[in-house]
Amino acid sequence: MQKLIVIANLGRVRPVKFKPAGEDPQDKAHLCEVPGSTVELRPQSITQVVTDRVGRFRQSGSHEQQGGMSYGEEHHLQAELAHQALERIAGTIGDIVASAGYPAWRLVFPQELLPSLRKALPAAAALALSEVVTGDLTQLPLAELEKRFLNGH
């Protein structure tokens, strides 16, 4: 069992640590969240970055002059914002894994963005990655996470 599980999506990183069973028979293996370790990284929306809307705008000249119109474009802004959010998530995950001393760790992340995240992870964190589980489990309670990940312990 990996001692570190990082559960993430584009807006949240939630690291969870594995605590093995103790010598007391009542002390079972469990997962615990480090207080203050959950990081909220909401991706910017286009309305926060761009103040006007896609549409027709004058090409040049004053308002009184007759002239042509051009169409405004977003120039792949949505994709760029998603890429920036992914880079921030990868950097945050890299920092969490580094602060834990690069143990073997498990990543839980949505399938559609997983290949991009794996490319964006810092090299040392990517080398220590031992297992990937797909899905968005950032909102699951700790008891549900224990049911999913501690079956054999």
- Compute how many other C-beta atoms are within 10 angstroms of the C-beta atom of residue 135: 13
- For the beta carbon of residue 151, count every other beta carbon within 10 angstroms: 7
Q: Residue 70 is encoded by which pair of tokens?
A: 């051009």
Domain range 4-39+76-149, its CATH number among 1.10.540, 1.10.8, 2.60.40, 3.30.420: 3.30.420
* pLDDT in the model for residue 122: 96
**Rounded to an integer, what distance in angstroms lies between the CA atom of residue 12 and that of residue 6?**
10
Question: For tokens 């993430």, what's the residue?
Answer: 8
Distances (CA, A) of 141 to 15, 33, 45, 71, 80: 13, 11, 28, 47, 32
Q: What is the per-residue pLDDT for 153?
A: 47
If residue 151 lies in a helix (H) or strand (E), which one and from where to where? Answer: none
Q: For residue range 60-79, list pLDDT tens digits in order.
A: 555 565 555 555 555 677 78
Question: Smallest Cα–Cα separation from 121: which of 104, 97, 139, 138?
Answer: 97
pLDDT above 90: residue 132 = yes
- Between 125 and 47, the higher pLDDT residue: 125
Q: Maximum CA pair distance of the chain?
A: 86
